[in-house]
Structure 1
């Protein structure tokens, strides 16, 4: 087996988050530069989905390859945060965008709690993290599909004239 001390284990667990910070900066910069939000959201999520699945297929006997794929998956999961939250006010009318973002954050927190519980349950019931990797891969793939089929909302259309602003004829 693979033997390492606490410092080495700490560096190994920190690397996916360092990669995520770099990914977030690069993807956000590209999204702002080109103003193509969806193009910077779904491809990283698809790469993360494939990386989780490939890490599952390789398994623990190929630790370094599997670990590298998990670093890629971690970076690609976090990378689209900036463009994703930039999409919301661009596709929704201004009067509901704030509430929608609050709802998204609330559902994210709930999903984080539920996902952590589900991953722990799957790991303990199956005895390995394989089922959790498949769950993550599937959830990310679903995110890709939902993002691709996301249609522009009301704010992209010409606003309807406000009847209260009509000048009364004398």
Structure 2
């Protein structure tokens, strides 16, 4: 029996991965990643970088992506909770500009796989949230880009009512609209 199970989302290639958790009176154990077992369930993904961020409640990060060297991300929350969002930026996709969101919490056994070609962001729902993710490519600051979190065309239903104060970086407040990013994506041939 595999330790991992794929749950499909309404957007092709955007996946939730359910992980078996082994619990007893001492606590629990789970493998968060196993390349061989991922390949057995059809996920032949190579990761090259791991990242960990800590945020207080109400922090909204994103929506980020890299123009060149796009990153696929395998996301888990190891403490706290987030509302995690991916937006399809694949120009030839029937779901271009559509979003999917999922609440991830510590100990829930869920991971969210966001492939290359998506913008990504999250809102922390609990204090001291630790957000861990594996990436399929290295971070290159010169290719860093994004879409504004509240773009009316995308119309993400962020659960802002679950936080008292919303904190967004100055950089993220100035991100462009989706319609502006389309021009950049076309120029880069994405």
The structure that is strand-richer by fraction is 2
TM-score after normalising by structure 2 = 0.22
**TM-score, normalised to structure 1's length?**
0.24
Larger Rg: 1
Q: Which has the higher helix share?
A: 1
